[in-house]
Amino acid sequence: MSEKNVAILGATGVVGQQMLQCLEERDFPVRELVPLASQRSVDAGRTVSFRGEEVPVRLAEPAAFEGADIVLGAADDATARELLPEAVRRGAVCVDNSHAFRLEPDVPLVVPEVNAGDIAGHHGIIANPNCATIIGLVPVWPLHQAAGLTRLIVSTYQAASGAGLPGLLELEREIRCVAAGEEVGESAPFQYQLAENLIPQIGGFNEEGYTSEEMKMQNEGRKIMHLPELRVNCTCVRVPVVRSHSESITAEFERPLSVERAREILESAPGVRVVDEPSSSRYPMPLETSDQDLVWVGRIRRDLSAPDGTSSITFWCCGDQIRKGAATNAVQIAEYLV
Amino acid sequence: MSEKNVAILGATGVVGQQMLQCLEERDFPVRELVPLASQRSVDAGRTVSFRGEEVPVRLAEPAAFEGADIVLGAADDATARELLPEAVRRGAVCVDNSHAFRLEPDVPLVVPEVNAGDIAGHHGIIANPNCATIIGLVPVWPLHQAAGLTRLIVSTYQAASGAGLPGLLELEREIRCVAAGEEVGESAPFQYQLAENLIPQIGGFNEEGYTSEEMKMQNEGRKIMHLPELRVNCTCVRVPVVRSHSESITAEFERPLSVERAREILESAPGVRVVDEPSSSRYPMPLETSDQDLVWVGRIRRDLSAPDGTSSITFWCCGDQIRKGAATNAVQIAEYLV
């Protein structure tokens, strides 16, 4: 494999930091690493660790992309929209984790286990899907291939670090307050106290009362799986967990799908680890699924509520949303580019 | 109202303590209060507070029910099964919060907002349903009356104190450990660490992979709503919340039901408080719904996944499982007896 100059836009954030670690772990052929961040990080003299060296952070500005072959985007929507076209103009291919380009028709939106074939059609930008969408689709896709997905009903249990480093630090701060019997006070970036609480809102609301996070599961899911008519009902809830999103999923199919067959399919599906032994209380949990790259699937069972003649399976899955839900998925996509 | 002699079986537990408080708050006509507990509590000289007095705990044994008009049961299944028939034999009427008698054909299983009429058919024992079932059915029932419920898909987010005082104390201990950066160690009564985690198991598993808690939503729901064919798919998850269970519910109906009509119905439904203002981020949350008696309902919206011609509504609700999910519901039933 030829070595590449790799820039990371937003290298000091929680996803950017994880991208660095994934590049190292997966032995990605990096010739030069260019970590980019805001003026504030540059002024603070921030560095990032990569292969045992401290690499100084450079300012994220158009000229910084000169010579970059691959840009991994871990910045917010506005920064991505402003800077990634500049990177493309300078010949780089961008894998962007923001929401900015995900639904643009000429931008592939990719979960490699599902639609790696779409990568080839890129015009300089490939989008990384929403974290909860990636974690749900990794197990849903092989079941769809077997039986034809028609409907998804999902309730999520999403970790604090889905809101980035500020979310992670805020939950830790709140837990210390609660443990000490102190008032939690202002809870930014969350709407309300998250410790010992649940917040059924991630993102803003649309006219029908769905949040932007909930609509991503449908709109991104349709694009990734090439199922433009797919119907998805999603309820996204922030829970007081540091890391790893969990999802309770009911999936209906066109064709019959037994629980036994679903389990067999999942056991051989890429990116999935089946952990489903009720008799020994083994099932996926956020604490166990943090800091690894597979989506763990368990509680696989028949949907007892399915009307006669409706093929429907229910299961529970957990995955690290910073790794497979963001950084690992982006680096996997980048691997297809080299 | 004539005054009654009221015994509480399991008066020192979290539900028993809450029953005492509910009797006081609701000004229940108590002539004599008889708090009953185990030999260990008696030996320890335990008392309970009632109307400003400290009442000594007596031993829970058959003779203790002499003279009792009403027994509120807040003990485990085995204790309820052993002692409540003794209370009935001595002329008392029992409202029991355990699972012991819930599905027996001659025992009414009652959520007063749903089927208070069933109370009259009792033979000495009336059962209080499972906490998650009560909290889900309070809002589901008025929607069923309007449109004919056919299918329920529920994912729960259940608080630590659903496992009683030991559960509540264990979560508080674990949060102190986590805040101090210490190992949590043994997590009884939970299967695993609950702080910063989720446990998708409450109760034991049946052959199909459903837990006993999940089957209660179907089996108790069928009995309470007199819908023997109702199909329920429930996923029950323990979350690191001290108090108040939350549920993400999708309900399908025989007849059309608009979101606007569903909201109107819920706004005038007994036991329900609609808190549903997305534009100002107002929705039910466990912290806000603890220590009060209503089931708060929000995030009411059309089920985007419903097939053409299927009437389906999705919502989110929270309720205090120690109060409405247990103690308050039992005292409400007892009020029908006086």
pLDDT of B80 reads 98
User: Does A2 have pLDDT greater than 90?
Assistant: no
Does the beta-carbon distance from A299 to B235 stay under 8 Å?
A: yes
- What pairs with residue B55 in β-bridges? B48
Q: Number of A to B CB contacts under 8 A, please give it.
A: 183
- In this complex, which of B232, B279, B300 lies closest to A305 when CB atoms are compared? B232
**CATH 3.40.50.720 residue window(s) in chain B:** 4-129+326-336
pLDDT means over runs of 10, chain B (338 residues): 93 95 97 97 95 96 98 97 98 97 97 98 97 98 98 98 94 97 95 98 97 97 97 98 97 98 98 97 97 97 96 98 96 96
Tokens of B233: 């798919």
Nearest chain A residue to B247 by CA distance is A155
By CA distance, what is A243's nearest residue in B?
A: B196
What is the residue whose two structure tokens read 């008066």? B11
Residue A170's H or E segment, with its range, is helix A164-180
Q: How far is A170 from chain B (nearest CA, A)?
A: 13
pLDDT (0 to 100) of residue A227: 98
Sign of CA dihedral A62, A66, A68, A70: positive
Residues in Cβ contact with B316 at an 8 Å cutoff, skipping those fewer than 6 apart? A200, A235, A237, B246, B247, B248, B249, B283, B284, B297, B298, B299
| Burial (0-12, 13-18, 19+ Cβ within 10 Å), A43 | exposed
Check A287 against B196: CB less than 8 A apart: yes
Nearest to B250 among A233, A241, A318 (CB): A233
Domain range A133-321, CATH class: alpha beta
**Does residue A188 register a pLDDT over 70?**
yes
φ and ψ of A238, to 5 deg: -85, 130
Start-end ranges of CATH 3.30.360.10 in chain B? 133-321
Tokens of B167: 């559960």
Chain B CB contacts of A201 under 8 Å are 278, 281, 283
Residue B127: name the closest of B142, B144, B106, B113 by CA. Answer: B106
Domain with CATH 3.40.50.720 in chain A: 4-129+326-337
Reported as a single tens digit per residue, the pLDDT across A254-312 is: 999 999 999 999 999 999 999 999 999 999 999 999 999 999 999 999 999 999 999 99
Under an 8 A CB cutoff, do A316 and B200 touch? yes
Instruction: Please name the residue ranges forming H helices in B236-292.
Output: 259-267, 286-289
Contact A198 B150 (CB under 8 A): no
Q: Are the C-beta atoms of B205 and A279 separated by less than 8 Å?
A: yes
Put simply, whether B212 touches A (Cβ < 8 Å) is: no
Q: CB distance A178–B175 less than 8 Å?
A: yes
Instruction: Scan residues 260-299 of A and list those with Cβ closer than 8 Å to B.
Output: 276, 278-279, 281, 283-287, 298-299
Residues of A in contact with B198 (CB under 8 A): 157, 239, 241, 246, 285-286, 318
CATH domain A4-129+326-337 topology: Rossmann fold (3.40.50)
| Cβ pair A319, A325 in contact under 8 A | yes
Distance between CA A26 and CA B150 in Å, rounded?
50
Residue-level pLDDT at B1: 62
The predicted structure's pLDDT at residue B61: 97
Q: Is A22 a catalytic residue?
A: no
- Please give the distance of CA A306 from its chain centroid, rounded to a whole number: 30
Q: Which pLDDT score, from 0 to 100, does residue A21 have?
A: 97
The pLDDT tens digits of the residues spanning A81-137 come to 999 999 999 999 999 999 999 999 999 999 999 999 999 999 999 999 999 999 999
Task: Render pLDDT for A35-93 as a digit per residue (tens, 0 to 9).
Answer: 999 999 999 999 999 999 999 999 999 999 999 999 999 999 999 999 999 999 999 99
- Residue B2's pLDDT is 86
Put simply, whether A103 touches B (Cβ < 8 Å) is no
**Whether the predicted pLDDT of A34 surpasses 70:** yes
Closest among B246, B210, B241, B215 to B230, alpha carbons compared: B215
- For the question of residue A245 being annotated catalytic, the response is yes
Q: Which residues of B are catalytic?
A: 131, 245
Task: Please determine, for residue A1, whether its predicted confidence score (pLDDT) is greater than 80.
Answer: no
Whether B301 has its CB under 8 Å from any CB of chain A: the answer is: yes
| CA-based nearest distance B21→chain A, Å | 24
Structure tokens at A196: 């010992």
Chain B 145-184, CB below 8 Å of chain A: which residues? 150-153, 155, 157, 175-176, 178-180
**DSSP run (H or E) holding A157:** strand A149-157
pLDDT in tens, B185-230: 999 999 999 999 999 999 999 999 999 999 999 999 999 999 999 9
CA R_g for chain B: 20
Query: What element of type H or E holds A178?
Result: helix A164-180
Phi then psi dihedrals of residue B76, to 5 deg:
-75, 170
pLDDT value of position B285: 98
Domain B4-129+326-336 falls under CATH 3.40.50.720: yes
Q: So what's the pLDDT on residue B115?
A: 98
Chain B residue nearest residue A196, CA to CA: B241
Answer whether B196 sits within 8 Å of A235, measured CB to CB. no
How high is the pLDDT of residue A187? 96
A200/B153 CB distance under 8 A: no
Among A200, A246, A318, the residue with its CB nearest the CB of B283 is A200
Radius of gyration of chain A (CA): 20
**Is there a contact between B316 and A200 if contact means CB atoms under 8 Å apart?**
yes
